[in-house]
Structure 1
């Protein structure tokens, strides 16, 4: 293959550590006039333009952006492909919302043509919002995952997804069996896991919709393929937590159900965790498991406020999730706007650099992919965005008042949305242009 090399010049910012562990100043690198050099889909250099330009060959193409910021691609650690068509559905809390809106919408994925259509819309929406990696729930139908991975593979995206396993407490038209969920998941793993930049996640929807037999087989899949992911929901809603206690009276609590079936581990991501206790946070951290913090969805469904300071105390890996369709936006910038409010309501602060961390390197660490995505270090995948300071008249005016990169970043996360994303690159290729 011929060597493809390009350079991108703009302000450049990326997280290099968790501010909760090293302090804000040591948590990021910022180049006011920066240069990002990309070769064959990977970043080969990052630094001050004045220093790097002299090292480059004379014929290299340099793309120069004015009034723009380059950041790593954003990472969404919890989102539902089949709920794209019901985002913004009115008036219910979690359990009623599932029955009223979610299950009927997911039933349409029995049709491959429908699954193809939604996968295309879903991926375009992710890229329009600057999301280059997502941990995705399919529906119970294998074709939901096939359609998604086919579309993601065409663009060489780094994506993780799995077929939902659900064999009870759901409509008959939407359940599998313990055995069929195992067989179908295994076939999808064999077809897609590790192919290009794609990874598979074993996906029991949540404890109430899986029998002990199904949870046992989910754990078995994880033991058969050591680098698989596992994704599910935990402690999102108080009624859900009570329901789990009724269904599994022999277990100490919600997390203990998953622990018993060997579903905790370094590539296990639990969505929400709004009502976790200290012991559960400690156990998640001890096993290397992660939480997907989904503030937009937690507000929209009235679920509660995630305790980020408690997670930090236990050094628990936390990523950010939009949770479409419980969440109302594909935009991780808008999700960070809501995350800031979640902290405010608890008397805590969320610095813009912690926010950047959650949406990039924090998500990468939650997924154990920090050697490949989440930063702009040399040797990582060239998944990055160009954010436009003049995306809207208000944003343009407001950023002219900003005195430093911290203020600029905070304003982008408060006023920014899909319009702010000028371009999205994945593996060095332009995959979205506003």
Structure 2
């Protein structure tokens, strides 16, 4: 039987480049060729020897290549619509984090600097590049006995950017252990036992690495004070029915306080069962991209998409505060247009995102125009649970992201105050259980409207 990672974790097929992308690439090559020929010709006319001119042009080309190197600091990102934005909540800062990504230092296909630049473009506050410890398909091309290497590269790329880069790794085993991420590590090497006479073949290397007990890796991570969470527990390569459940080994580790969270959303998938056992076992709820290729390929932010993220409600914007919040379970997952979390955190985020900015009786009527502001990236689908009806809509309304929505309410007569209660379809506080939001409305009288 093949190791599970070979069944569904193969790279996604390359998407054909658009005509505009091909044209841009062609123009870049032509520009480089033109610059090279022009420089060579100019140097020849100036009297230089053919040999000298060749080396000068080669130096020019190498200098150009250096400017597009994968190393060095990441470029600062300009503010754009692709940036993920949610407001701070009462008493806490909302940090946008992706705690499960990969680079070429395991089975990803980009350098860590690219992960950092993507994170900056997406407006992330925190990023962890969590390489597989045991699965190393690029070993022949990128040998790296130090399992901290991708973190070091990412940290150097993020220097001065404000991005919080978190040290992490992925313990990569077959069931009953499965895959487990450990973040806020001090030394990833302690979670892996180097192989003597390591096989060159990636599959054989992976099989040999399984011999060291996985509990040793879990214990080593906990000794470093790391935060550990279960990855994609519904993954059909290890769970053919796609239903997430804790194995006996995982359950025992959870009860011992050695596993602290679970992914309820990973990549393109959401697991209702993981959400349920996460709540039942008092685990922190996590959402991640698990990105291996480019974010732009897999999530198409240029078309309004976004990677799944964990919204961490932290006391301040720092690595220490993010870690404290994760252990305290103050998280909300944003997956597609779905918010997932415990009632206290989801409600706090909804109250910060949706606010009534105005209410007034329309002239010579007993109907009230209520203005609802949405200060978040989510588009909220609200189902009316109050006793009032609306002028222009049924019981279901949609408040677009970063927009104001006008709702005309019919209270039946002029009243000084009333409340509107809604179920929020795309905010879940338990499987199949929407969050509820309540607005207290105090309409202005006609005299205030003039």
Larger radius of gyration, structure 1 or 2? 2
Q: TM-score range by the shorter chain?
A: 0.3 to 0.5
Q: TM-score, normalised by structure 1?
A: 0.40
* Larger RCO (CA within 8 A; separation ≥ 6): 1
TM-score for both structures, normalised by structure 2: 0.38
Greater helix fraction, Structure 1 or Structure 2: 1
